[in-house]
Amino acid sequence: MHNLEDAKKWIGIAERDYAVSVTLHKLHRPLPVEIICFHCQQSVEKSLKAILAYNNADIPKTHDIRLLNELCEKFINESIIDSRVAETISDFAVVTRYVEDNRDFTEDTGDFALKQAREILGKAKEVLNLPQSIETENPDDDGKE
C-alpha cells in the first residue's frame, strides 16, 4: 500500500525550498548563489524522500543525494538523477555553509542548481502522479512569449 499523504508532505517542503531559490534568483542582487544552491539541494533531497515515503520505505537522515537516488531506484526501476550530478548537488548541503568552500560559486552554479532542482521535483511529481505546478516552472520564464 502506498502512502500518498506523507509523499505530498515531502513534496510540499521540496516545493517551498525550490520556491525560495527561485525568489532569491529573481529578486536578490548580488545573487546569493550559496543560499540558492543550499535550498536547491534541500528541494532535491525532499523530492527523493517523497518517493521513499510513498513506498513506505525507511527514510534515512542523510543529505547524500546519490544514496537517496539509489534507494528510490529500488521502487521505480530508474534513476531520477545522474550520479555525477547527485554528487555535486549533495555537496551543496555542506559546502554552501562555509565561506572557504563556496568561493568558486558563480551565477552559473546557481543556474545549474535551479535547473536540477526543477527537473528532479518535476520527476518526483511525475512518479507520484501529482500535478506539475508553477513551482516547477523555469525561474527565468516570465510567462511572456
pLDDT tens digits along 22-70? 999 999 888 889 999 999 999 999 999 999 999 999 999 999 999 999 9
- Grid cell 516570465 in the structure block, residue: 142
- pLDDT of residue 141 exceeding 90, the answer is no
DSSP secondary structure of 26-84? HH-SS--HHHHHHHHHHHHHHHHHHHHHHTT----S---HHHHHHHHHHHHSS-SS-HH
Model confidence at 101, in pLDDT bands (50, 70, 90)? Answer: low
Domain 4-129 has CATH 1.20.1090.10: no
Per-residue pLDDT, averaged over 12-31, amounts to: 94
Residue 139: per-residue pLDDT: 56
Q: pTM of the full predicted structure?
A: 0.89
- pLDDT of residue 144 exceeding 50, the answer is no
